[in-house]
Amino acid sequence: MFTSPTIPVYTITLLRHGESIGNAEGYIQGQQDFPLTECGRQQVQALADCWSGKGAVFDQVIASPLARARETAEIISESLKLPIEFDPDWMERNNGQLQGLSRAEAAEKFPRPAFIPPFQPIAETGESQWELYLRAGRAINTLLRRAPGRYLVVAHGGILNMALYAILGITPQANFQGPRFRFGNTSYAVAVYNPARHDWLLERLNEQISEQANGQVSK
């Protein structure tokens, strides 16, 4: 991420957005549009300043068009003088009728079934785990049709988990079993892909700048 590759590889940084109003107030967001909180904007600016100070280099920012990811991407793009594109394949999971509900409301109106196949839509009208996985794979495939380079993807925890499933060759399980990858607000993972050998290397996971890790950028 911080230096030019010596061979034609893809360096892909997967970044979760800053704290949103939905995060702060405990709503199930999905594809419901919640903007960043002031704390979230501070988190993103702190990350952008950290990367700028370290000489981080990206060729392109690709972001979900949802407000919390869009604003995160725009702050970083402006700070680092980067081109930005929006791709709806990086939007968060469609959570069906859960979207916009508090967690208490969701538990009351849509109690979790005893068994959830990976092909079952979430809350009647949402995306299944399998559908989300396929969309994440398509997003990765679209990115890899670009020239090798250093790409920053700004998105959401659910779709980023499925992107790592696609990268690491993991398939979705029933009942949401299987590994989960932690993405805190403005934390990121870095994966490097060598197309000549079809080699993936996961270099970083849930990386956070020191200010966030020490609680200096908080609510």
> Is residue 108 flagged as an active site residue?
no
Q: Is 94 helix (H, G, I), strand (E, B) or coil?
A: coil
Instruction: Compute how many other C-beta atoms are within 10 angstroms of the C-beta atom of residue 96.
Output: 17
Active-site residue, selected from the candidate residues 19, 71, 92, 127: 92
Active-site residue, selected from the candidate residues 17, 131, 156, 207: 17
Distance separating alpha carbons of residues 219 and 209, to the nearest angstrom? 16
Establish how many alpha carbons lie within 13 A of residue 182's alpha carbon, considering only the half-sphere containing its beta carbon: 4
Q: Give burial (CB, 10 Å; 0-12/13-18/19+) of 145.
A: exposed
Joined tokens for residue 6: 């010596």
> Is residue 17 flagged as an active site residue?
yes
153-175 burial string, b = 16+ CB within 10 Å, else e? bbbbbbbbbbbbbbbeeeebeee
Give catalytic residues, as residue numbers. Answer: 17, 92
